[in-house]
Amino acid sequence: MISTMECGADAQNLISISLMKIHNSRTQRGGIKLHKNLLVSYVLRNARQVYIKEKYAEIYRMQQYEEVMTVCNEIQELDPLDLDAEDDEEHARTACCGEGASPCGSVCHRGAAQPAAHARTASAVFGCASLEEDTREPDPSYYRSCCMEASPAPHCDQLPASGSAHCNKTTVLDLDTHVVTTVENGYLHQDCCCDAPPLGQGAQTPAKKRKVEPGCYVSDVEEISDFTAARKRAKREDCSYHSLDYTDTSNISNLISIFGSGFSGLLSRQADLEQICSKQVLASLGAWTRAIVAF
């Protein structure tokens, strides 16, 4: 378990710094230093683990809430004239939030004040989930992350198998109409290399991934408010990302195109963009790690 409190390091910040180091090392005198870049890739990996763990914890909390909401809405539909429905909702919410989510739980929609958005719940397996968020709103936002088990390697190996067993059903909650629909669909399962030795195994997981259909997205509502106009551009890049085969080449070329547009340019813009790029990079970090050392 990595202690993040030690130096107050923000995982995202570390990821940005590490990527900058790798980028700079390409132009340093004397050629790329293998040892240093290997160590930097370890920091990247650790930061990614922490980042994803935090994200997963957040999703987990939101899943519980969403489940409560679903239940409450169903209750409401059954008895819309129930004057105590709201109280029950609250009660149910708090009750459900305290419980564990089912294996195929749903993403929680937190905060009623958020603008209407499509929320798609991705099936969440212990250690295996992915989110994509997009709103069909004027400001579509994308967010993709790889949620992986942060425990040692042995679990890692089992994840692809267990993931596909559980994650074959997804639920969509329309926050406008509160209609819940279940869709049989695939999910995007990222590289599952969480420890150094099976780094190479990450290359095998792409074969097990299934393409995500463009119509299904999850909105992390909290973040919609954070990332607005900036996400428009991210959407374009992400769309093309989806339609490609999930190969190492596409990961690396995508990252290179990000850097090609000017890393310093990225940094000079607002923090939002930085975070987006970090997230995109996070999504394909396994490939990037491989790209670093494979020179």
Q: Position 52: which residue type?
A: I
Give least dist CB 152 to another protein, A.
11
Residue with tokens 């809430």: 65
Which residue's CB is nearer to another protein, number 103 or number 197?
197
Q: What are phi and psi of 172, to 5 degrees?
A: -115, 130
Span of 36-44, 124-132, 212-220, 265-273 interacting with another protein by CB under 8 A: 36-44
Q: Is 36 in the site for another protein (CB under 8 A)?
A: yes
Closest to 259 in 3D by CA, of 226, 228, 288, 283: 288
Six token digits for residue 293: 């050392």
Give me the 161-200 binding string for another protein, x by CB under 8 A, dash otherwise.
Answer: -----------------------------------xx-xx
Which residue's CB is nearer to another protein, number 37 or number 63?
37
Q: How far is CA 290 from the centre of its chain?
A: 20
Site size toward another protein (CB under 8 A) is 35
Span of 14-22, 78-86, 113-121, 239-247 interacting with another protein by CB under 8 A: 14-22
Which residue's CB is nearer to another protein, number 154 or number 215?
154
The C-alpha angle 8, 13, 17, rounded to 5 degrees, equals 120
Out of 22, 47, 72, 108, the residue judged to bind another protein by CB under 8 A: 47
Q: Which residues bind another protein (CB under 8 A)?
A: 1-4, 6-9, 11, 14, 17, 21, 29-31, 33-36, 38-39, 42-43, 46-47, 50, 196-197, 199-200, 203, 290, 293-295
